[in-house]
Structure 1
């Protein structure tokens, strides 16, 4: 082998620890005379820890390896650690032994990015995935490489294609348009629900009722937990593009999305104003109930004491917990019509407020299944388990239920939680992301690059009866490992069909795919981006993780080809949020400019030659007070309006008729009614016969114009309901089905 080739490969392995994909391999093979050897996509494996547990949270005596916990005597466990479909799912990457024609001799000097898996055999190596996509063979080859070689995997893919072939962008509301993915069976779902309900009846309900402490609050006291630093009201333009109408919303008020339009038949939704930026919003899994519940958290901070200015905080806030202060999670109730549309006559109401002095809630996730459906009666509303990260650096799980008011206009219930039955803290770091791997297993990542998960059905999840009352109990994890060298920003699991597979996004620009069954061997990296991703989602129908790229494209990283990008959607600004649904293949994407678009990427995923269709749901634009906007008064000078001695008549002539009360306050404009369009994923310019080149431009937008939250309703009958939160405190809830 030529010396130059060895040096080139060694340099790649040293810098990125993974091999380049098809283009580089094809070029190298061509330079080497067309060798028939397969390209080897080997990932560098981490050395085994020989079963020794890492030092964890200052409780070394509790550190046990996951396998040691499983094999401990006297442990009785209900529920599954990696449920739906995990027992029949192959590892991330195929195994090649040294006896096959694809293996390489271990003494080859350019094997810097490969190692032998000690736990699986002396001569066994792990590679990154299936072969390169052949240029011949057509769709059959593509399906085999992307989804799997078996007939069952091919059948599920074709069923998905045929069922949603007519959905181009927004989901269909008609019968059959909403159903669970073909990749998971109803038997597996029922088995998982039965397991979690069995655990809750035997152990969970008693554990939460004994250890979770809460008290009811009066309305005057509870409203103090809703306080935030946002403005008390906001001006908003909505309606037809040529003749918009202006509305003023105060904190907690709402507005029907159909009100500004003359034709209101096909508009079913609400706009709410909550004061400041929406931090998170998640639908409760209320599959068999009419009323739908949405948990919402806004950006809150300590309202008393000294307030540090921006960039003047002495400690890095992303790496250190805050002091405890009052904050809340709001749970809004929405009533549907008999046809499962948001009711236009019954506005959303604030049904329940989770009050706590644990700092601001930063992220939370509902348990995917309700552990106990027997309590759904006229007197009690049970929403299930809510896991959250609070800014005091702790992860908690709360069991949420409250009394059902029988009055026509029920009042908001304020409940203060003082102690959680399940609480986790970390030494020298803070939690950053959490995700349910099953109905009883919760995974958490930290700022130090570690991942761990806990199983509630395990005997060590809750404090034993012999534990001293009043002393905090920190349950040991069933799995704990360093998986990244830097801050972990996003975490997503392949639940429900691939619950053992997780993808994490780091501040280094890399996304890492990990199989929790063998994290040392089954690990793969995506191509590095120059901008780290702030959002990630698992798309069940294409079996891929979706992330934004470093510019304005949405990329898919399939489970079997995680090291490659498949682009399916495009925005004109940086993508900051994306959301997928378990009951249809539609994806919502939100940008920094306030645009939200929807598309069904499945057909583009199967045939990469197709130009995808996408549709704008709405666009949200925020502008600051006119007195703060720099306005041009000369060819080389600009100044805020407040600093001008006299108004220039030309650029400001249209503002003379606008009341000063509108000009001196921020203003929001909501535009909608965009048509479906077929887009080109490469923004090209073709001067003459030159080759098309892609523009790489990023525009800076107002921070409060950005979309901060996107989520689909996971409940089957209400799967066309979507929620979008904005950085200025507006929350839009609407049925977007067609």
Structure 2
């Protein structure tokens, strides 16, 4: 009696289907996958595949082998009760073969014994009630191996799978490699330049809507900005106190000369405020989670001025709070300027600032500095308090809350929503109605970034469903790619145009980048001891800055691993913030040594010889790094800023001089 051998675990070579391949498929040995998987399904099997029962489980390889062996026994014995085996259906065309040991089907029969494969992931709670909501990927087909990319380990293949095959683009990519691959983790001042993939063109001006502002009297300023101690700490860097949990941070763009301006938003109702918020009244109904709740209230956006010297690269005097934009919309959780250069821009006009507020709406504000004399500006002057009663534009959705945003063009922007949808508006055409509203995630979108300037029609998103996704706005339903799911959901994502990749966190502590042309694969560039809260890239260099819940802020260089898979990777700790609960004091350490990054394989080898337990630490909220950003202006491209939950903000020019 002949028995069927187990399926081979070793991957085989891949080839396009030809007549020889089809003929070889008919004469395949008995260890191959049975022809039932490639044949047309019967009506019974089709009905079982359409069944979405949650009780379905997966067969193991051993169960499949036993089933195959019993089929061979019946066939060899010539039993009349056994149905004849169907022959493999010959394929035509140029469809690539997928290695069969890496493709298997889940048993759809209810009541099947539990297997060793992972079970079906149920849809998000309430997703079936939302029209057009996405369901999880079909669990009936699992592909764990991608043909071709496993062999792209050479330098040439890595460049092509990252930048494509356009000769002009490849020449620019080689220039990026030669410029940054020799730098461990921190940029050099001579290497600051606009990304070579920048596509210049005419920038259409936006007609600003009717914006109304009014002056805030001295007696009514306390409810918008908490009373914080005056003074700025001046060490190697500048450390200032913003007065609360930093929720948003952005540098004013298009500042080629003169002072630099940093905009901050803070939680006015946080635990660090003078008085805690009142308790919520008890209700009989189920309480709405705070993230899905509209919470308007008094707050402000702070505009800090950083004076510069004649070269425009270093701060010659301590910064001062020059403007406070007061409002009653709740604190802003996302601040964004568009980075396109403006022609004939007024020095006091910082541009259009888009922000997401706690009432769930997006507002676009024209930020204009108050009129001051040269002597008042040199001396710092008094802080101007201005209340914005009517913004230039208000963008809102009745069915959901806006959670994050980014600019697509100087006159259009796109936002992520709490229900997993994307919404896009054009400020020049019907700004009150979005021209795009489509689902891409199953739940709350935490961060979004535009692939500008190389791919202005693409966006990358990070959601609390555990996935990061890249989507083309030309066809968001089909032209989208998702990466591997992370058990600790990513809360930050950015786009690094120099390496054509998105950067986010995976499993909390790992900072990884995902190239656009192979978004499903990730490369690690940095690791934190806690959970990564924020990550940022720049348009004038290729370096990253990231901050975590452990209070550590670090720099890293993704170019090294982009062009060379086995090159040594480094990370540079910028500073470390520690908090002592008993004494209610902070300690900020700096001057750390450059350290070589440890990959997962190296860490696994080290753990094999170490029996010590691995602990996961919970850090206090006060030491969290909540926001990080680079200055996007070329003259100050080496300036980095980091905001913390305790209200401290550190700003430093970290670029290395020749």
Query: Which TM class, normalised by the smaller chain length?
Result: 0.7 to 0.9
Counterpart of 1:404? 371
Counterpart of 1:513? 470
1:337 equivalenced with 2:309 (yes/no)? yes
In the alignment, the residues of structure 1 paired with residue 151 and residue 416 of structure 2 have an alpha-carbon distance, to the nearest angstrom, of 40
Q: Is 1:546–1:555's contact at 8 Å kept on the other side of the alignment?
A: yes
1:673 equivalenced with 2:640 (yes/no)? no
1:274 deviates by 2.2
2:636 to 711, 718, 722: 718
Counterpart of 1:449? 420
Counterpart of 2:183? 167
In the alignment, the residues of structure 2 paired with residue 693 and residue 297 of structure 1 have an alpha-carbon distance, to the nearest angstrom, of 46
Q: Flag the 1:329–1:31 CA change in 2: closer, same or farther, 3 A.
A: same
Counterpart of 1:727? 645
Q: Flag the 1:607–1:483 CA change in 2: closer, same or farther, 3 A.
A: same
Q: Is 1:352–1:412's contact at 8 Å kept on the other side of the alignment?
A: yes
1:537 deviates by 1.0
Counterpart of 1:17? none
The CA deviation string for residues 62-113 of structure 1, in whole angstroms up to 9 with x for no partner, is: xxxxxxxxxxxxxxxxxxxxxxxxxxxxxxxxxxx99433389xxx996999
In the alignment, the residues of structure 2 paired with residue 514 and residue 695 of structure 1 have an alpha-carbon distance, to the nearest angstrom, of 41
Counterpart of 1:288? 256
Q: Flag the 1:553–1:310 CA change in 2: closer, same or farther, 3 A.
A: farther
In the alignment, the residues of structure 2 paired with residue 371 and residue 446 of structure 1 have an alpha-carbon distance, to the nearest angstrom, of 30
Q: Flag the 1:724–1:321 CA change in 2: closer, same or farther, 3 A.
A: same
1:195 equivalenced with 2:166 (yes/no)? no
The CA deviation string for residues 331-388 of structure 1, in whole angstroms up to 9 with x for no partner, is: 00000112333324x2101111111111222222112236563433xxxx10000001
2:290 to 317, 336, 340: 317
Counterpart of 1:141? 157
1:426 to 390, 394, 397: 397
Q: Is 1:354–1:414's contact at 8 Å kept on the other side of the alignment?
A: yes
In the alignment, the residues of structure 2 paired with residue 454 and residue 702 of structure 1 have an alpha-carbon distance, to the nearest angstrom, of 39
1:253 equivalenced with 2:172 (yes/no)? no
1:195 deviates by 2.2
Q: Flag the 1:552–1:415 CA change in 2: closer, same or farther, 3 A.
A: same
1:171 deviates by 1.1
TM-score, normalisation: structure 1 = 0.67
Q: Flag the 1:685–1:306 CA change in 2: closer, same or farther, 3 A.
A: closer
Secondary structure of the residue aligned to 1:427 is coil
Counterpart of 1:705? 623
In the alignment, the residues of structure 2 paired with residue 616 and residue 542 of structure 1 have an alpha-carbon distance, to the nearest angstrom, of 22
1:156 equivalenced with 2:172 (yes/no)? yes
1:571 deviates by 2.1
Q: Flag the 1:599–1:28 CA change in 2: closer, same or farther, 3 A.
A: farther
1:611 deviates by 2.0
1:559 equivalenced with 2:516 (yes/no)? yes
Secondary structure of the residue aligned to 1:499 is coil
Q: Is 1:430–1:447's contact at 8 Å kept on the other side of the alignment?
A: yes
1:580 deviates by 0.7
Q: Flag the 1:138–1:195 CA change in 2: closer, same or farther, 3 A.
A: same
Counterpart of 1:278? 246
In the alignment, the residues of structure 2 paired with residue 569 and residue 155 of structure 1 have an alpha-carbon distance, to the nearest angstrom, of 27
Q: Is 1:684–1:695's contact at 8 Å kept on the other side of the alignment?
A: no
Secondary structure of the residue aligned to 2:422 is strand
In the alignment, the residues of structure 2 paired with residue 137 and residue 576 of structure 1 have an alpha-carbon distance, to the nearest angstrom, of 31
1:710 deviates by 0.3
1:31 deviates by 5.7
Counterpart of 1:86? none
1:607 to 557, 564, 579: 564
Q: Flag the 1:734–1:373 CA change in 2: closer, same or farther, 3 A.
A: same
Counterpart of 2:268? 300
In the alignment, the residues of structure 2 paired with residue 129 and residue 422 of structure 1 have an alpha-carbon distance, to the nearest angstrom, of 48
Secondary structure of the residue aligned to 1:444 is strand
In the alignment, the residues of structure 2 paired with residue 35 and residue 130 of structure 1 have an alpha-carbon distance, to the nearest angstrom, of 11
Q: Flag the 1:542–1:696 CA change in 2: closer, same or farther, 3 A.
A: farther
Q: Flag the 1:601–1:687 CA change in 2: closer, same or farther, 3 A.
A: closer
Aligned counterparts, 1:558-577, within 5 A: 558-577=515-534
The CA deviation string for residues 31-59 of structure 1, in whole angstroms up to 9 with x for no partner, is: 68655359xxxxxxxxxxxxxxxxxxxxx
Q: Which runs of 4+ in 1 moved over 4 A?
A: 27-35, 108-113, 127-131, 302-306, 309-313, 685-688, 690-697
In the alignment, the residues of structure 2 paired with residue 133 and residue 292 of structure 1 have an alpha-carbon distance, to the nearest angstrom, of 45
Aligned length: 532
Secondary structure of the residue aligned to 1:318 is helix
Aligned counterparts, 1:580-595, within 5 A: 580-595=537-552
Secondary structure of the residue aligned to 2:221 is helix
Q: Flag the 1:687–1:275 CA change in 2: closer, same or farther, 3 A.
A: closer
When Rg is computed on C-alpha atoms for both structures, the one with the higher figure is: 2
Q: Flag the 1:166–1:34 CA change in 2: closer, same or farther, 3 A.
A: closer
In the alignment, the residues of structure 2 paired with residue 448 and residue 336 of structure 1 have an alpha-carbon distance, to the nearest angstrom, of 44
Aligned counterparts, 1:52-71, within 5 A: none
1:494 equivalenced with 2:451 (yes/no)? yes
Gaps of 5+ in 2: 18-90, 109-119, 121-142
Q: Is 1:435–1:493's contact at 8 Å kept on the other side of the alignment?
A: yes
Q: Flag the 1:325–1:532 CA change in 2: closer, same or farther, 3 A.
A: same
The CA deviation string for residues 512-557 of structure 1, in whole angstroms up to 9 with x for no partner, is: 2111111122111100111101111111111111111104221111
Counterpart of 1:618? 575
2:192 to 173, 178, 185: 178
1:522 equivalenced with 2:516 (yes/no)? no
TM-score, normalisation: structure 2 = 0.75
> RCO (CA 8 Å, sep 6+): is it higher in 1 or 2?
1
Counterpart of 1:224? 223
Secondary structure of the residue aligned to 2:518 is coil
Secondary structure of the residue aligned to 2:456 is strand
Aligned counterparts, 1:625-664, within 5 A: 626=582, 663=583
In the alignment, the residues of structure 1 paired with residue 476 and residue 445 of structure 2 have an alpha-carbon distance, to the nearest angstrom, of 16
In the alignment, the residues of structure 2 paired with residue 289 and residue 219 of structure 1 have an alpha-carbon distance, to the nearest angstrom, of 33
Counterpart of 1:657? none
